[in-house]
Amino acid sequence: MRYKILFFILALSLIFIPVPIRAASPEKSTAEMLARERQALFEHMQMITGTPWYYLAAIDQYERNIHKKPKKNSDASASASLVRKTGIIFSPEKWSGFLNPNPEDTNPASISFFGGLGKDGDGDGKAEPDNDLDVVYTMASYVSKFGYTEDDIRIALWNYYARDKNVEIVSELASLFRHHNRLYLSGSAFPVPLHYTYSYRSTWGDPRGWGGRRIHEGTDIFAGYGTPVRATKHGVIETMGWNPYGGWRIGIRDVDSIYHYYAHLNGFNKKFKTGDVVQPGDVIGYVGSSGYGKPGTSGKFPPHLHYGVYRDNGKNEYSYDPYPLLKRWEREEYKTRRKKN
């Protein structure tokens, strides 16, 4: 295994050379370049451990989503004191071992003795939780212990996170990266085509009475029956079917782990099913007035799309106001249309 790690270090010296990106904004160029570097790292870890690169990418992306910002190297004097390129963060207990008297232990032998997960991934004799190579190698090695099938990896994820939703989201992100074979996925679309007649205002938090006192967790976009409803971001269809409140509805999980909720539909695009990958602008359904009753109930309110967004923080999921997002996507799409014309 040591010679494989040394080979990896040599390969890495070539991997982390900036790759020129064709005509793009500086922000996009930087983000795309970093995504390519991370993917190269995950692919080489797959060569060493056998853990699929897209699952390592999914774990990394999920951790990046639930942590506000990546940790910095604790050794300010080291050349690696820059912000980490990856976002996986191990707790001291998991890294060093729950019973380890030294929670900052970097000795692979003593970490192993106390049952910690931390490993030396770059061959320098230390297992450092702020070192990208050590961290990704540690996670890849941990997952590989359970096996390499989808079920094996899901078991590994559950043992690590001990939460079904985490396993579900990481698996969805893995399918997204595997489908596109890349990490950088950008772009957005307004939920309904701009050339259709529609109207909306901020309605998040308004009171609702049907089914008990509750608040409105979304924005209503009023449009005619049959108006196409589009995916707003790259994502995976997580839910598709009937809900007593939302009627015919679709739930899509995007690359940032945000759950996009489309409700009161008149019907679905039969092209798609649960588990399918969608991209911005894909028509997923049609505006209707379904809901507030048993399956098939419709017409209890004017036709409109209820659009909601929910963020997962690793422990629970909560809604927030989608109105600012909708205004931004609408503005960006109008801007793009003007440029084309």
Q: Are residues 134 and 213 in the same domain?
A: no
Q: Are residues 166 and 206 in the same domain?
A: no
Q: Is the dihedral of CA 180, 186, 187, 192 positive or negative?
A: positive
Q: Are residues 311 and 220 in the same domain?
A: yes
Q: Are residues 148 and 9 in the same domain?
A: yes
Tell me the pLDDT of the chain averaged across its residues.
Answer: 88
**Minimal CA–CA distance to 230: which of 330, 331, 336, 338?**
330
pLDDT band at residue 70, thresholds of 50, 70 and 90? very low
pLDDT band at residue 30, thresholds of 50, 70 and 90? confident
In this structure, what CATH number is given to the domain that contains residue 327?
2.70.70.10
> How far is Cα 151 from Cα 146, in angstroms, rounded to an integer?
9
Tell whether 185 is covered by a domain.
no
Tell whether 12 is covered by a domain.
yes
**Res 229: pLDDT:** 98
Tell whether 202 is covered by a domain.
yes
Q: Are residues 202 and 175 in the same domain?
A: no
Domain span at residue 229 reads 198-340
Q: Are residues 35 and 65 in the same domain?
A: yes
> How far is Cα 178 from Cα 170, in angstroms, rounded to an integer?
12
Considering its fold, how many domains does the chain have in total? 2
Tell whether 128 is covered by a domain.
yes
Burial track 98-115 (b if 16+ CB lie within 10 A, e otherwise): eebeeeebbbbebbeebe
Q: Are residues 44 and 142 in the same domain?
A: yes
Q: Which of the 8 DSSP states describes residue 272?
A: -
Joined tokens for residue 2: 């040591």
pLDDT band at residue 337, thresholds of 50, 70 and 90? confident
Helix (H) or strand (E) holding 306: strand 304-312
Q: Are residues 159 and 205 in the same domain?
A: no
Q: Are residues 48 and 173 in the same domain?
A: yes
Tell whether 304 is covered by a domain.
yes
pLDDT digits (tens, 9 = 90+) for 108-153: 999 999 999 999 999 999 999 999 999 999 999 999 999 999 999 9
Tokens 């999914």 -> residue: 58
Q: Are residues 176 and 202 in the same domain?
A: no
Q: How many CA atoms lie within 13 A of 171 on its CB side?
A: 21
**Res 1: pLDDT:** 52
Q: Are residues 151 and 95 in the same domain?
A: yes
Say if residue 50's pLDDT is above 80.
yes
Say if residue 88's pLDDT is above 60.
yes
Whole-structure pTM value: 0.86
pLDDT digits (tens, 9 = 90+) for 264-305: 999 999 999 999 999 999 999 999 999 999 999 999 999 999
Q: Are residues 104 and 55 in the same domain?
A: yes
